[in-house]
Chain A
Amino acid sequence: MTNYLEVRDLSKRFGDFTALGNVSLDVAEGEFVCFLGPSGCGKTTLLRAIAGLDPQTSGTIRQKGRDVSGLPPAQRDFGIVFQSYALFPNLTVADNVGYGLVSRRQARGAIAKRVEELLAMVGLPDSGPKYPAQLSGGQQQRVALARALATSPGLLLLDEPLSALDARVRLRLRHEIKALQRRLGVTTIMVTHDQEEALTMADRIVVMNHGAIEQVGSPQEIYRRPATAFVADFVGSMNFLGGTLETPERVKIGGLTFACPAQDGLAVGTKVRLSIRPEDVRVRDLPADVANRVPVEVAELDFVGAFCRAGLKVRTDGDVALVADFSSNLIRDLGVEIGSRLDVALPPDRVRVYAA
């Protein structure tokens, strides 16, 4: 795979505030990349810099080998979809979709045909003569997508495209956009603050915080092996237990010690945080010699639907608490209720350690 987009040392400052600090990133051709992070992390700033809408303070951007760093948006090659749809309200759906085609001096018949094609592609074949206000939010966003794709851009930029929609529509559009992107093979960057959206849609996720990239990786990597405590905390739920690194493979927390994957980066004796996801806490069929066995008492039990989220207090050390997800089956089989005493295990291969 060749790099379609190369971002190098991109910085954006507003006075004293650094919105982006020396960000570098490569995007391969045909890839679907998500910028994920909390609001204010710089993800939209990065997207707008790539589009040339709000140029960076310093740094370079190369698109398909061409240096576009200083070019105005009109001289770059991209289509863009905004959270607000930004459909022209006074033009029909067909005129909106054909907006970029008209100025390319194509024959009227050819434009009409292309518009028809695009509307069929996004599943709105008969909506051409309608005005945007007559469509639902989800339909409007599809029109915006068709308009962005009309000129067959090499790069599709999506700025929180689903955030304004209600949950059900959002779920459906997620799949439609992903399927469309795969079919057209257009390199796509989407900005989102919704981790689920990023995990389900992206080929690769770029997690950002405070104007810097925290981690770049596939959804599985991001979820299974978060590179930093921030990523671990931001994507999915995570237990954090504060302790000290006793040996490279053991962490001491209160009166307990836990086995963990070997830590080469951290010196023995440093303060660390040991982390594990609630669904990785094991309860059933623990072998006698299981590693990281902890005797706990169920302090809280929140019904979430498909499973229960249990608040557990370590019996030997009341200060240490953790959260575990128990399936409905497990709760029924073991008769778990508030006050139940049981043993759980934290599988060492599921445990990760971060500097505190």
Chain B
Amino acid sequence: MSLATPTTKIALRLNLSRDDLLMRGGLVVLAGVLLLIVGLPLWALLAKGFQDRDGQFVGLANYISYFSTPALFNSALNSFHVAAVCTAIVVPLSFLYAYALTRTCLPAKWLFQGISLIPIFAPSLLPGLALIYLFGNQGFFKGLIGGSIYGFDGIVIAQVFYCFPHATMIMVTALATADARLYEAADALGASKIRVFFTVTLPGAKYGLISAALVVFTLVITDFGIAKVIGGNFNVLATDVYKQVIGQQNFSMGAVVGMVLLVPAALAFVVDRLVQRKQVALLTARAVPLIPKPKFGRDLFFTAFCALVSAGILVILGMAAWGSLIKYWPYNLSLTLANYAFANFDANGWESYFNSLRMAAGTAIVGTALMFVGAWLNEKTRGFGAVRAVVQLLAFLPMAVPGIVLGLGYIFFFNALNNPLNFLYATMAILVINTVAHFYTVGHLTATTALKQIDPEFESVSASLKVPIWKTFGRVTTPICLPSILDIAIYLFVNAMTTVSSVIFLYAPDTKLASVAAVNIEEAGTTAAAAALCLVIVVTSAAVKALHLLADRFLLGRLQAWRRR
């Protein structure tokens, strides 16, 4: 080995390959797109809160008048109250349900799991409608409850239905990953069942519990449909935004309420991210999966519990279905399909349903492509840290933003006369764009997780073999991630079908969506037709999900023979 003569140190100049340039360019475009569909609308909303009705800057005047108007400020307290109560109910409920699914010998597990997911396929106003049938002014069981179902009680019951699957899914994930060896060790040390539960089970599910609580809290506080349908005179933040904007055309005050609504949602999101970060090291690849053994008493108790909860879900869904088929509640209970002739209740008739289908399909296609390619660019681009950080931030932002707040931001940003993009306003395109933005985070996270699971050296190998990176993306990365890509597409489709909150500000007469039409029909007083429309949405989303499961099983099995050993 020869000793080199000392050379003066010069900072290294890196040459960029064509791949590097291509990916950096793509990343810049992505950052621009996210800025347009997430960043700037939120900025517009923030700015609007400091302006009066004529667009003059007024500083904190709107905020001062908000906090000094008890009627407005009260809804904030109401929102917190409802969210806290719902969280306290849903988290234990979903914990027990998930415990039954993962840690006991529950019969027909797949059925109970399936039933627990049903609410996901429904617009949030569906449980509200069902409750009106059951306990409303003309409800079957009106006598059973002391007061009126309209208000606090109704919102809580409907929210529990609506949030239950989200919390249960998180709890199932948290409880499914138990290490059997921990339980064996506890048994060998002679710990009692109660002690094992409090020292092994609960700590293992700790992060899941926190995450579920935060998700439920955020869902409740940001949901619009339920409070709208069954809230009565009980005002919450989400309905206040709607009333200020649609009812009173007071956009500035709407923006202020939106900002107030943003705070708890964003806070919950930040806490959740911090908690998630801690969880990483908890699981080791060498953990031995826990397989529950039959135990009569426990299994009986949990079967009864799950049956009860499932019955509750099915009653609410069934009530909405039955109500939609009844001629004139509660006086003429004979069955009819008349409520499905939507043209009699809403000018758009069935067209709003087809609009929803078009919008959901568009969102699934455009959104999945953007989210997957975007996540890939962000994961695989060499260097370029600053732009990647910006993309990461903008991709995470939508999760912290309530739909109704994002929708409001869209009005302010895209409806501005000086915005060259305002031709998009009141088109189908803006509904798709808004929905993609609204649900961007989950898709981005799913794609990122899938990409992180494949060998990071694939790109190194391709580079050493002089194969362009986009070729490897098409030939290797995408086929491997196909199941996750399908997951994202289905997630987007179902959410686009059911969403109400952000699109309620953005539709035009000819682009009205089914979920929005349901709100309008209900507002006009025809509960049966609204329930019918909700049901059509449920059936569509559930059918698409069922198709997805079938495709996963058979189509992917054939296309992806390489997964088999």
Contacts and interface: CB of A to CB of B under 8 A. Distances in A.
Interface of A: 8-9, 11, 24-26, 51-53, 55-60, 69-76, 78-80, 82, 84, 86, 88-91, 99-100, 102-104, 131-134, 147-148, 150-151, 153, 216
**Interface residue SS majority, chain B:** loop
A82 B457 contact: yes
Interface in B161-213: none
B281 to A, nearest CB: 18
Interface centre among B11, B18, B457, B458 (most CB of A within 10 A): B457
Given A26-B1, A151-B465, A53 B562 contact: no
Nearest to A26: B1
28 contacts: A9-B9, A11-B9, A24-B1, A26-B2, A51-B464, A57-B12, A58-B9, A58-B12, A74-B18, A80-B461, A80-B464, A82-B455, A82-B457, A86-B460, A90-B476, A90-B560, A91-B475, A91-B476, A99-B461, A99-B465, A99-B467, A100-B464, A100-B466, A103-B468, A131-B561, A133-B562, A148-B464, A151-B466
Nearest to A25: B1
A356 B88 CA distance: 65
A75 B15 contact: yes
B386 interface: no
Contacts of A102: 467
A340 B131 CA distance: 91
Contact of B464 (A26, A69, A78, A90): A78
B463 A72 contact: yes
Interface of B: 1-4, 6-7, 9-20, 382, 455, 457-458, 460-468, 471, 475-476, 479-480, 560-565
A88 B473 CA distance: 11
Contact of A88 (B1, B4, B17, B458): B458
B560 to A, nearest CB: 7
A26 B1 CA distance: 6
A25 to B, nearest CB: 7
- Specify which of B14, B480, B564 lies most central, judged by the most chain A CB atoms within 10 Å of its CB: B14
A162 to B, nearest CB: 16
B464 A79 contact: yes
A60 B9 CA distance: 10
Given A58-B11, A88-B476, A90-B560, 12 more contacts: A8-B4, A9-B4, A26-B1, A57-B11, A58-B10, A70-B12, A72-B20, A79-B465, A86-B457, A91-B475, A102-B467, A103-B471
Contacts of B562: 89-91, 131-133
Contacts of B19: 72, 74
Given A89-B480, A90-B479, A147-B461, A69 B467 contact: no
Contact of A59 (B3, B12, B382): B12
Contacts of B6: 9
A57 B471 CA distance: 29
Contacts of B20: 72
A245 to B, nearest CB: 27
B9 A153 contact: no
Contacts of A58: 9-12
A51 B382 CA distance: 14
A82 B462 CA distance: 13
A73 B12 contact: no
A153 B563 CA distance: 31
A103 B465 contact: yes
B455 A70 contact: no
A196 to B, nearest CB: 23
A343 B246 CA distance: 101
B464 A73 contact: yes
Given A9-B7, A216-B1, A150 B465 contact: yes
B184 to A, nearest CB: 27
Contacts of A78: 464
Contacts of B463: 52-53, 72-74
B17 to A, nearest CB: 4
Contacts of B462: 99
A70 B14 contact: yes
B381 to A, nearest CB: 12
A26 B3 CA distance: 9
Contacts of A56: 12
A204 B188 CA distance: 53
A74 B466 contact: yes
7 residue pairs, one from A and one from B, having the closest CB atoms: A100-B465, A72-B17, A73-B463, A86-B457, A131-B562, A74-B463, A88-B476
Contacts of B11: 57-58
Contacts of B480: 89-90
Contacts of B13: 70
A8 B5 CA distance: 9
B4 A69 contact: no
A24 B467 contact: no
A73 B458 CA distance: 13
Given A9-B4, A216-B1, A86 B465 contact: no
A133 B565 contact: yes
Most buried by A among B464, B562, B563, B565: B464
B467 A86 contact: no
Nearest to A49: B12
Nearest to B18: A74
Contacts of A51: 460, 464
Nearest to B559: A90
A103 B469 CA distance: 12
Which residue, A26, A79, A86, A103, has most C-beta atoms of chain B within 10 A? A86
A3 B510 CA distance: 74
Nearest to A12: B12
A86 B7 contact: no
B252 to A, nearest CB: 46
Contact of B460 (A25, A57, A71, A73): A73
A202 B3 CA distance: 22
Contacts of A69: 12
A96 B16 CA distance: 26
Nearest to B564: A133
A326 to B, nearest CB: 38
Most buried by A among B12, B463, B465: B465
Contacts of B3: 24
A9 B455 CA distance: 31
B465 A147 contact: yes
B7 A8 contact: yes
A8 B2 CA distance: 11
A133 B565 CA distance: 5
Nearest to B471: A103
Given A51-B464, A131-B561, A75 B7 contact: no
B548 to A, nearest CB: 21
A56 B476 CA distance: 29
A56 B560 CA distance: 39
A134 B565 contact: yes
Nearest to B6: A9
A148 B462 CA distance: 10
Given A89-B480, A133-B565, A74 B560 contact: no
A234 B444 CA distance: 46
A38 B4 CA distance: 26
B259 to A, nearest CB: 37
A25 B479 CA distance: 41
Nearest to A76: B464
Given A58-B10, A84-B457, A86-B458, A104 B466 contact: yes
Contacts of B564: 133
A51 B564 CA distance: 33
A79 B457 CA distance: 13
Given A84-B455, A147-B461, A72 B7 contact: no
